[in-house]
Amino acid sequence: MVITGIGGTFNIIFTTVSSVFSYAFNVLLSAVFALYLLLSKEKIAKQFSHVLDTYFKTDKINYFYHILTTLDETFRSFIVGQCSEALIIGVLCTIGMYIFRFPHAMATGALVGLTALIPVAGAWIGALVGALLILTVSPIKALLFLVYIVILQQLENNLIYPKVVGTSIGLPGIWVLAAITLGGGALGVGGMLISVPITATLYRLLREDVS
């Protein structure tokens, strides 16, 4: 039992340490690669353009560039809209907590706004952490805070998010909700982040083609 227990403990420690170093190495490698791309972007873009000009027709190249431009504009607008939505729900959460005299209003509101950058599920993560903070002061207020967050989330999911994000990327609210649902079901949080701008790009290209 002693040998097995010691071996199991060392195994857990080794697995944890190796996972941390592996994650840190991946982050460092990603940062170096991203920095290299940024420093060489003009050269890479020129080489890429020469290859396209050599092997593809002009009209195909122009349409491809149009798709890339549309993707760039949509993702930029989505990021701006997502940040605006996170700011709105963070401010509303803070104001409501001050009105109802919940403790840790400023910290919880900032946390809810920060986690709201993750579509749909992010604000819930911040709300649960905020509820745990309030629980240390008053269990009743923690329960009332969760009720308040449920109401605020309904307002955010059905009114603020589709209007703010949908308007910023030119996508109707119903398609924003559909994209989040499908993207989250297929790829989790990452799918939620990329599904809306990709859907908006496809929507815009299809609308242009139909016109």
User: pLDDT value at position 47?
Assistant: 92
Q: What is the DSSP string of 54-94?
A: HHS-HHHHHHHHHHHHHHHHHHHHHHHHHHHHHHHHHHHHH
Query: Are 123 and 88 contacting, i.e. CB atoms less than 8 angstroms apart?
Result: no
Distance CA 165, CA 161 (A): 6
Distance CA 74, CA 196 (A): 9
All residues at 6 or more sequence positions from 88 whose CB lies less than 8 Å from its CB, including other chains:
156, 160, 164
Distance CA 37, CA 34 (A): 5
Distance CA 163, CA 154 (A): 13
User: pLDDT value at position 121?
Assistant: 65
Query: Are 89 and 160 contacting, i.e. CB atoms less than 8 angstroms apart?
Result: yes
Distance CA 189, CA 135 (A): 28
User: pLDDT value at position 6?
Assistant: 62
User: pLDDT value at position 39?
Assistant: 93
Token pair belonging to 58: 């002009």
The reply to whether the predicted model has a pTM over 0.85 is no
3-state class of 120 per DSSP? coil
**pLDDT tens string for the chain (211 positions)?**
555 666 666 777 778 888 888 889 999 999 999 999 999 999 998 998 899 889 988 888 889 999 999 999 888 888 888 888 888 888 988 998 899 888 888 888 888 888 887 765 677 788 888 888 888 888 888 899 989 988 888 887 777 766 666 566 777 777 877 888 888 788 877 787 788 889 889 998 999 899 9
User: pLDDT value at position 167?
Assistant: 62
